[in-house]
Amino acid sequence: MENLNRVLLVYSGGLDTSICIPLMRQEYGYQEIVTVTVDVGQDPKDILQAAEKAKILGTRHFTVDAKEEFIKDFCWTSLKANGDYQGYPMSTSIARPLIAKKAAEIAKNLGIKAFAHGCTGKGNDQYRIEFGIRVLLPEAVIHAPVRERNMTRSWEIEYAIKNHVPIQQSLEKIWSIDENLWGRSIEGGRLEEPDFQPPEEIFQWTKSQESSLSSPQNLNLRFESGEPVELNGEKLSPAKLVIKLNEIAGQHGIGRIDIMEDRMMGLKVRENYECPAATVLLKAHKALENLVLTREEIRFKAIIDQEWSRLAYEGLWWDPLKQNLEAFIEATQKRVTGAVQLKLFKGVVTVQGRTSDWALYSEDLASFDTTTFDQRESTGSVKNFGLQSRMFEQLKNKKGM
């Protein structure tokens, strides 16, 4: 049953989304607020805190555990595409469509058509969240109060105090943090200055190079059809594997990323990330692909992967081009089955070996020590190699260019 007096707020428990609750009542005229927090692996304390605040602020609150779905359907899809945008594994980007999907599912069940979210007008998330909701519920009405009212942080704080919104934790926070199992992003404060050296306190999942474990650790990862299935011989569910690998790789200081990033609307921003598991998995996956795919597939797939990553960064999860690219990617991944051995040490992950039944490598052909490959047969092809380039060089000399 449709009820026009109800609105579903995509809720993190932070300042932006918390002030949306009284705002929805006072300024937007809704009587009932439903809040939804999607657990994609953020700090469990934040999830609990969101539920507590929702209770204080009198909403009907839902917490949805989407961790396994996030890794299986979103992170693994991205891994198969070697998902990367300007050096960033897109942890925040690929969680937004899932958050939108879960919000849309709950809204559908409750017969709610109105949504609200706390995104500002400067970032990428507004595009990702709104696209995700609209693609699944075309008739959705979506409010973005922070953007619509061009709010400043000080206005938000004042409004929160006036309306008894608990904000103590928000006041203590210097950094703006977004977390899920694929990575942790830290922005804001002086980090916005491209030449400000990130202080050690912003990192929570990774040790610094100096304080990371003093001896290296070997790791064995098994993949089936492009998806990680085993860590050091132990079969693990997708989310459990990532949680464990985040811990292991974080101890070795792996996965710190500091980049200048071009946001969708053209803003260049400084971003810091911690993505230990994603960093290791991306490296291992690529190593296995390089063993089993043909040279032509590897070259062409790099182009496909880059296009896929751009669409994923923009949150166009249900775009037809993206789905068509995935059809190609999936076809290549059938053979990405095998194991990769890695070494973790002092912020660096090194590939040490790879095996697969689908390896296109032949020791007999590549070795320096066999005669299966008759070297003499290469003579003609070497002689004709670079024919056009050589002709061009001669022409240049002749014409005195």
**Cα 66–chain centre separation:** 15
- The minimum distance between CB 188 and ligand ARG, in angstroms, equals 7
Q: Which is nearer to ligand ARG, 32 or 46 (CB)?
A: 46
181: left (phi over 0), alpha (psi -120 to 50) or beta: alpha
CB 55 within 8 A of CB 28: no
209 near ligand ARG (CB under 6 A): no
Residue 329 amino acid letter = I
- The minimum distance between CB 144 and ligand ARG, in angstroms, equals 15
Cα gap 342→21, rounded to integer Å = 48
- The minimum distance between CB 91 and ligand ARG, in angstroms, equals 7
Residue 134, helix vs strand vs coil? helix
Q: Which residues are tagged catalytic?
A: 16, 96, 125, 176
185 near ligand ARG (CB under 6 A): yes
187 near ligand ARG (CB under 6 A): yes
- Could you say which residues in the range 339-398 bind ligand ARG, by CB under 6 A? none
- Could you say which residues in the range 83-122 bind ligand ARG, by CB under 6 A? 92-93
Which residue in 355, 370, 369, 300 sits closest to 332, CA to CA?
A: 300
CB 227 within 8 A of CB 25: no
Residue 399, helix vs strand vs coil? helix
15 near ligand ARG (CB under 6 A): no
Q: Which is nearer to ligand ARG, 110 or 269 (CB)?
A: 269
- The minimum distance between CB 176 and ligand ARG, in angstroms, equals 4
> Which one of residues 261, 274, 289, 305 is an interface residue with ligand ARG (CB under 6 A)?
261
- The minimum distance between CB 184 and ligand ARG, in angstroms, equals 9
274 near ligand ARG (CB under 6 A): no
Q: How many CB atoms lie within 10 A of CB 321?
A: 11
CB 252 within 8 A of CB 290: no
- Could you say which residues in the range 120-179 bind ligand ARG, by CB under 6 A? 124, 176-178
Which residue in 108, 132, 280 sits closest to 206, CA to CA?
A: 280
Q: Which is nearer to ligand ARG, 318 or 328 (CB)?
A: 318
Strand segments, DSSP code E, in 18-164 are 32-39, 60-65, 114-116, 141-143
* Interface with ligand ARG (CB under 6 A): 92-93, 124, 176-178, 185, 187, 261, 271
